A = this chain, B = another copy of it.
Amino acid sequence: MEERKLREECGVFAITTDPSESYHAASETYTALFALQHRGQETCGIAVNDRGVITVKKGVGLVNEVFDIESLNALEGQAAIGHVRYSTAGSNDWLNAQPTVVRHQKGNLAVALNGQITNAYSLRSELERKGCIFQTDSASELAAYLIVRARMNVGTIQEALCVAAKQLKGAFSIVVMSPRKVMAVRDGYGFRPLCIGRLGKGYVISSESCAIESVGGRLERDVAPGELIVIEDGKLSSMDTGLREKKTALCCFEYVYFARPDSVIDGLSVDRARRLMGAHLARLHPVEADIVIGVPDSGLSAAMGYAEESGIPYGVGLIKNRYIGRTFIQPTQVERERAVKIKLNAMAENIRGKRVVMIDDSIVRGTTGDRIVNILRDAGATEVHMRVASPPFTDPCYYGTDVPDRSMLIAPNHSVEEIAKKFGVDSLGYLTEEALADVAKECDLEFCTSCFNGRYPVEREMESSIYERRIGE
């Protein structure tokens, strides 16, 4: 059923509360996970720290399925970390739910991670050679091991986290909770977002700022690439891991597709980034038309940007059914076109007899484009001009995005003209990498654009890991 083009791997959240205030760490985290739910809908979990004792509740399902009032109330604690996650199907999914909570020589530890460790296989192998055992496939278990083992040689848990962060390659935004501290670290490229906010006298750390605001907090700043944050006794301090790369590489798909439009990531509003992309599209691929519409939800902001720049009126052309969820049962004999129609319906009133510019955020597999175009044609659109708010998607991602096999991608194997013809559009225009670079100028970090050009910031060792996953479990 799920037809999301790409899957973000995770969202993380952490909170410390001040005893003089009435915040309930687990409930705030619960609320925040609702605001991060778009980043991961398969498992979720909350770990709380109650005077040094860390407990966790996690499971398979949406936040509202895993938690009920009883389980939330049972999660007493002054600090908490939370996690939402996508994962591949299989009966073991629940084992991979995060946060991972472990006991080690020095106490308890809870770890939650957003990203993808590209050297996970070799790190695990090395640990296994030393007699370590792994009960899950999750990167957070690996991170926990590295932290715990580093802790044996350094004096503090934050130093141990620093040592561990240096061993990890790839993309990671990690939150860690020990009996007395909440910590966070972001990889040296800044692949995945991570930001800091205040809630009363306490602190919150989140993948996206919208979650900070959902609990009534206020965004303070982003965690910098290579920065390590420690919150202890109500005070936040920063530590430089020395990992920051000269050329940072924030995943541009956070702006294109993943993040909520009301989030601000590394200084750039997601909505604004999308509007800029739309404006660029208007300049790159102008067309005479009567209305600009977006494919909901991620195409809407770009559509507004296109409209503003082009002067063509913006309008609502497609309505998305909000109740279709993971459990929708597809009627068995339904044709492919109807499968889309169940989720998207044309606003015929706005489309009929018009030349339509339709903005979508990206084209990955190219399996639904023709059906959406058909919906517009059926609703009376006389012309459909498709504009895509990202460059052609040509290469797999190794940094936390669940991208289909390269053979499943449409861009590497088809010209723009071929795709336009397949989709049945009157014209098709993609964003350029140059335009994307221009958008990036407003961001504190540079963009990772490897999915558009195959230039990977970090060497990849993923294939072997994937291979191992098959035979190993």
Contact = CB atoms under 8 A, between A and B. Distances in A.
Q: State the majority secondary structure of interface residues on A.
A: mixed
Interface in A261-305: 261-262, 264, 269, 271-272, 300-301, 304
Contact of A27 (B91, B100, B329): B329
Nearest to A324: B34
A304 B300 contact: no
A342 B90 CA distance: 30
Contacts of A24: 331-333
A350 interface: yes
A338 B264 CA distance: 20
A322 B322 contact: yes
Contacts of A329: 27, 30, 67-69, 72
A108 B473 contact: yes
Contacts of A337: 216
Nearest to A105: B128
Contact of A319 (B71, B130, B132, B261): B261
A131 B152 contact: yes
B34 A323 contact: yes
A335 to B, nearest CB: 8
A37 B71 CA distance: 26
Interface string A249-265: 00000000000111010
A128 B101 contact: no
Given A316-B261, A331-B27, A341 B216 contact: yes
A461 to B, nearest CB: 18
A242 to B, nearest CB: 24
A341 B134 contact: no
A125 interface: yes
Given A135-B135, A214-B345, A319-B262, A331 B28 contact: yes
B102 A55 contact: no
Interface stretch (A57-65, A362-370, A407-415, A452-460): A57-65
Nearest to A69: B329
A23 B332 CA distance: 9
* Interface footprint category on A: 35 or more
A235 interface: no
A68 B331 CA distance: 12
Given A64-B323, A128-B104, A332 B269 contact: no
Contact of A325 (B64, B67, B71, B74): B64
A316 B300 contact: yes
A328 interface: yes
A404 interface: no
Contacts of A325: 64
A213 B374 CA distance: 13
Interface string A89-133: 011100100001111110111000000000000000100111111
A329 to B, nearest CB: 5
Contacts of A272: 349
A8 B337 CA distance: 31
A74 B91 contact: yes
Contacts of A100: 135
A159 to B, nearest CB: 15
A332 B57 contact: no
Given A27-B329, A71-B91, A262-B345, A35 B321 contact: yes
Given A53-B473, A148-B131, A349 B271 contact: yes
12 contacts: A22-B333, A24-B332, A27-B329, A30-B331, A34-B328, A56-B95, A64-B328, A131-B152, A215-B338, A262-B349, A269-B348, A322-B322
> Shortest 5 CB-CB distances between A and B: which pairs?
A269-B349, A27-B331, A105-B128, A102-B133, A131-B149
